[in-house]
Amino acid sequence: MMKCIEVDDLLEAHIDGDLAAGLSRRVGEHVATCADCRKKLELALSIAEELRSLPVQECPERVFRSVLKQIQPESRRRFRRLMPDLSQLRPRLVWGLTCSLAAAVLILITFSLYPPSQWFKGGQPHYTPQEIAQAKKEALLAFGYVNYATSRTQSILEEQIIPAAVLRPLKIGIEAVTESIKKGENS
């Protein structure tokens, strides 16, 4: 039979099931016959239960706000204004913004390389057919990017991030460009 002092050392491990089967059985036998150790076991069980029920403490919002004030204050404010509810928008938002930026850059390049005023001279194409084909290809590619980005993000881009006032003229501009290219090719 085990001694009380030995059992006392093993009660927590016994409760957690971390003892070898033989040792656990011997602890159980001792507890069954010793009122003092039984009380200790009951207290150990109560404490284990009480510990498990201790609540996770909710971090006050002011702690986070205080940290935000300390880290890169200016960029942080800009960042928050741009992305009001980041936790919900993040994956689509990042993808959409990336595509939109890429499309915008492509459009700008297209316009700077092939300004509309120089497309035709006296009814005759100023550029070679290869150049026009290349311009058309790039413009359509840019248009495709915008379409793709819009289809991926839809309302998020239009309603929350990029105002319709920016998107709509952009689309109209691209359509006008592609239309002009088509006309130029036909003539």
Partner 1 sequence: MKEIQFERVVRQYKDLIYSYAYYFSGTREDAEDLTQEVLLRIWQSLDSIRVGPTKSWVSKVTRNLCIDWARRKRTRLDSPISLEARNRDEGLRAPLVEPSAERADLRRRIEGAIARLPEKLRTVIILREIGDLKYEEISQVLDMPLNSVKSYIHRGRRLLRERLRALYEDQYLRRDLDDEMY
What is the binding site for partner 1 (CB under 8 A)?
Answer: 8-9, 11-13, 16, 18, 40, 42-44, 46-48, 50-52, 54-60, 62-64, 66-67, 70-71, 75-76, 79, 86-87, 90, 94
Name the residue nearer to partner 1 (CB basis): 50 or 123: 50
Nearest approach, Cβ of residue 50 and partner 1 (Å): 6
Quote the CA–CA distance of 109 and 111 in Å, as a whole number. 5
Quote the CA–CA distance of 9 and 146 in Å, as a whole number. 70
Name the residue nearer to partner 1 (CB basis): 68 or 140: 68
Q: Is the dihedral of CA 28, 32, 38, 42 positive or negative?
A: positive
Beta partners for residue 121, in sequence order = 124
Name the residue nearer to partner 1 (CB basis): 37 or 139: 37
Nearest approach, Cβ of residue 51 and partner 1 (Å): 4
Nearest approach, Cβ of residue 76 and partner 1 (Å): 7
Nearest approach, Cβ of residue 60 and partner 1 (Å): 7
Name the residue nearer to partner 1 (CB basis): 86 or 108: 86
Cα 90 to Cα 39, 67, 104: the distances in Å are 55, 21, 21
Nearest approach, Cβ of residue 152 and partner 1 (Å): 18
Name the residue nearer to partner 1 (CB basis): 34 or 140: 34
Nearest approach, Cβ of residue 66 and partner 1 (Å): 6
- Determine the Cα angle at 32 with ends 31 and 35, to 5°: 70
Residues 6+ apart with CB under 8 A from 175: 143
What are 99's two structure tokens? 């595509």
Residue of 157, 43, 50 whose CA lies nearest to 99: 157
Residue of 31, 57, 61 whose CA lies nearest to 44: 31
Name the residue nearer to partner 1 (CB basis): 43 or 172: 43
